[in-house]
Amino acid sequence: MRGWIGGKSGATRRVALSCIVLGAAGAALAQERLPPPRQLHYLVEVRRSLPTGEPLGVSAALVRRTETPATGMIVEQIVTLEAGEAPRESFTLMQVDGTKLIVSEREARFNGEGELQGPPWFWTGWTSRLEMTGGTGSVRASETVTADGRTAQRRYFSPAGELKMVIDEQYRPISTELFGVLYQQLMPHP
């Protein structure tokens, strides 16, 4: 074993090996402390209004939120339901880095960043700042986990920074089974 770790003494080799083993064990323990992946399902009421409070309309959404702590990833699969329009499916991707979020949409309509509040993977709320692609404006959002699910307020700003619309959302938890039934009715796949 001469020459191992630069030809150092046996004591030095043992200390170096101990550090490697302890580092690997620490990383494994940290990984074990992460909660398992989970999915949450919601039926969402969406109310839009002008900054004056004048209502603009109500719509709904069906949301499946998949949290994967081991990869630091959150994916929200969203089916948006607007009166007189076909349901539209989109995917919001959130990469977690400590208390920071990097947010994008698979369909590339926005991207941005956010800040998480509360214990990791059991957050009590978060804020985000999103820029719409093509310079069409920005969204500032604040979301809170409640005993009844989740609430969100999104404020849409013009490219010049003028508040144009306020969107209030109420997320009500639903079962995995109900999500599946509603999803198949809204987004039938061959």
Q: Work out how many domains the chain is built from and give that number.
A: 2
Residues 164-188: tens digit of each pLDDT? 999 999 999 999 999 999 999 999 7
Burial 156-186 (b: 16+ CB within 10 A, else e): beeeeeeeebbbebbbeebeeeebeebbeee
**3-class SS shares of the chain: helix, strand, coil, % to 5:** 20, 50, 30
Query: Are 179 and 41 spatial neighbours (Cβ–Cβ below 8 Å)?
Result: yes
20 and 107 housed in the same domain: no
10 and 69 housed in the same domain: no
79 and 158 housed in the same domain: yes
- Residues 6 or more apart from 105 whose CB is under 8 A from it? 90, 91, 92, 93, 111
Query: Are 59 and 81 spatial neighbours (Cβ–Cβ below 8 Å)?
Result: yes
User: In the prediction, which pLDDT does 23 show?
Assistant: 54
54 and 124 housed in the same domain: yes
Q: Which domain holds residue 14?
A: 1-33
Place of tokens 């214990």: 119
71 and 3 housed in the same domain: no
Whole-angstrom distance, CA of residue 71 vs CA of residue 34: 10
Residues 144-171: tens digit of each pLDDT? 999 999 999 999 999 999 999 999 999 9
5 and 72 housed in the same domain: no
User: What are the start-end ranges of the E strands in 50-162?
Assistant: 55-68, 73-81, 88-97, 100-105, 110-117, 125-132, 138-146, 149-157
64 and 114 housed in the same domain: yes
Q: pLDDT-derived band of residue 11, with 50, 70 and 90 as boundaries?
A: low
27 and 42 housed in the same domain: no
User: In the prediction, which pLDDT does 7 show?
Assistant: 55
User: In the prediction, which pLDDT does 4 show?
Assistant: 45
Cβ neighbours around 114 below 10 Å, total = 19
User: In the prediction, which pLDDT does 18 show?
Assistant: 54
CA dihedral 98, 100, 106, 108 (to 10 degrees): -160
Residue 158: CA atoms inside 13 Å, Cβ hemisphere, count?
6
User: In the prediction, which pLDDT does 112 show?
Assistant: 97
Of 120, 170, 111, whose CA–CA distance to 146 is shortest? 170
CATH number at residue 140: 2.40.128.20
Residues 12-40: tens digit of each pLDDT? 555 554 555 445 444 444 455 899 999 99
16 and 61 housed in the same domain: no
20 and 91 housed in the same domain: no
Report pTM: 0.81
Residues 88-133: tens digit of each pLDDT? 999 999 999 999 999 999 999 999 999 999 999 999 999 999 999 9
Q: Phi and psi (nearest 5°) for 92? A: -95, 130
153 and 93 housed in the same domain: yes
Whole-angstrom distance, CA of residue 137 vs CA of residue 161: 8
Cβ neighbours around 18 below 10 Å, total = 10
Average pLDDT, integer, range 83-87: 94
User: In the prediction, which pLDDT does 28 show?
Assistant: 46
Burial class (CB in 10 A: 0-12, 13-18, 19+), 101: buried
125 and 147 housed in the same domain: yes
